[in-house]
């Protein structure tokens, strides 16, 4: 069992031990997703284009999260993980993970719409309700973040079963989970600033009508580099939190993890 600081320390220990593998795990999925988002962005403009981008990002994030969750389990059991085996697991659990991806996409689109769509002249009650609903969606997302995907890939649960499993695991651990989420969020914010700052500097240097396409390319590249570096931190921390919750409630140990990983791989 670890406190929030211990989970963060272990996150960087796990990540640092296989850093290039984790970055590669994210990159092989982010590359086609980025191409798809770029092409669809050229074809679909305005609000519809934003929705398409959010949906692609949501499904992609769930798939990458599942691959990272399986990688962490493999690393604990054998000391390393196989990249293609991780995505093979995503493929075999595609339907259940797709349900979580759909829920994530609906929540993300709904949150953006609730925050952005209501015009200024809308009644105060509607505005307040919109913000409350958006906050509720964010809170539910935070507390399901470290449990539902893992329940699918490790415990072989279906979508609704994974969601119920997530709520049962986090029950009674809301403050600890919120602390972990806040700490990981601050770390990710710091990493994001550190990674994107050089690209922002370059964008400002080449900004202008003649170099607009170059500036856009640098901006897009900074986003992809940030995703490749930062995503493993979020997903490893979530997976370690899932294991910590099971240790606290179920006396979970490495032998049980080994049996589950073997059964889930079959």
Mean of per-residue pLDDT scores for the chain: 82
Q: Is 120 helix (H, G, I), strand (E, B) or coil?
A: coil
Q: Are 229 and 140 in contact (CB under 8 A)?
A: no
- The rounded distance, in Å, linking the Cα atoms of 71 and 152 is 14
- The rounded distance, in Å, linking the Cα atoms of 103 and 18 is 31
Query: Domain spans of the chain?
Result: 4-265
* pLDDT given at position 104: 82
* pLDDT given at position 173: 84
- The residue among 18 and 140 whose pLDDT is bigger is 18
Tallying the residues shown for the chain, one arrives at: 266
Question: 231-256, pLDDT tens digit by residue?
Answer: 999 999 999 999 999 998 888 888 88
Portion of the chain with pLDDT greater than 70, in percent: 80
b/e burial code for range 43-68 (CB count within 10 A of at least 16 → b): eeeeeeebbbbbbbbbbbbbbbbbbb
As to burial, measured by CB atoms within 10 angstroms (0-12 exposed, 13-18 middle, 19+ buried), residue 193 is exposed
- The rounded distance, in Å, linking the Cα atoms of 189 and 255 is 36
Taking the mean position of all CA atoms in its chain, how far away is CA 40?
22
- pTM, rounded to two decimals: 0.86
Q: Are 145 and 139 in contact (CB under 8 A)?
A: no
b/e burial code for range 252-261 (CB count within 10 A of at least 16 → b): beeeebeebb
- The rounded distance, in Å, linking the Cα atoms of 224 and 31 is 8
Lowest-pLDDT range, 54-68, 121-135, 139-153?
121-135
- The two tokens of residue 238 are 């979530």
- The rounded distance, in Å, linking the Cα atoms of 209 and 213 is 9
Which residue in this structure is represented by tokens 């509720």?
136
* pLDDT given at position 139: 60
């Amino acid at each position: 069992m670890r406190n929030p600081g211990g989970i963060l320390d272990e996150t960087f220990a796990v990540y640092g031990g296989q850093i290039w593998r984790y970055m590669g795990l994210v990159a092989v999925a982010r590359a086609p997703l980025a191409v798809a988002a770029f092409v669809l962005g050229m074809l679909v403009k305005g609000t519809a284009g934003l929705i398409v981008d959010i949906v692609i990002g949501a499904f992609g994030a769930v798939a990458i999260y599942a691959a990272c969750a399986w990688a962490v389990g493999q690393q604990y059991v054998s000391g390393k993980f196989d990249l293609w085996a991780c995505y093979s697991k995503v493929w075999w659990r595609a339907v259940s993970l797709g349900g979580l991806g759909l829920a994530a996409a609906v929540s993300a689109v709904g949150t953006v719409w609730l925050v952005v769509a209501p015009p200024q002249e809308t009644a105060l009650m509607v505005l307040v309700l919109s913000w409350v609903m958006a906050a509720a969606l964010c809170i539910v997302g935070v507390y399901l973040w470290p449990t539902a995907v893992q329940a699918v890939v490790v415990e072989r649960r279906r979508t609704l079963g994974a969601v119920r499993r997530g709520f049962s695991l986090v029950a009674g651990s809301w403050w600890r989970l919120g602390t972990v989420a806040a700490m990981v969020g601050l770390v990710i914010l710091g990493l994001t600033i550190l990674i994107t700052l050089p690209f922002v500097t370059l964008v400002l240097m080449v900004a202008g009508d003649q170099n607009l396409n170059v500036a856009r390319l640098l901006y897009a590249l900074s986003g992809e580099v940030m995703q490749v570096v930062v995503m493993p931190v979020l997903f490893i921390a979530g997976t370690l939190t899932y294991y910590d919750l099971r240790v606290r409630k179920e006396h979970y140990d490495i032998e049980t993890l080994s049996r589950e990983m073997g059964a889930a791989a079959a």
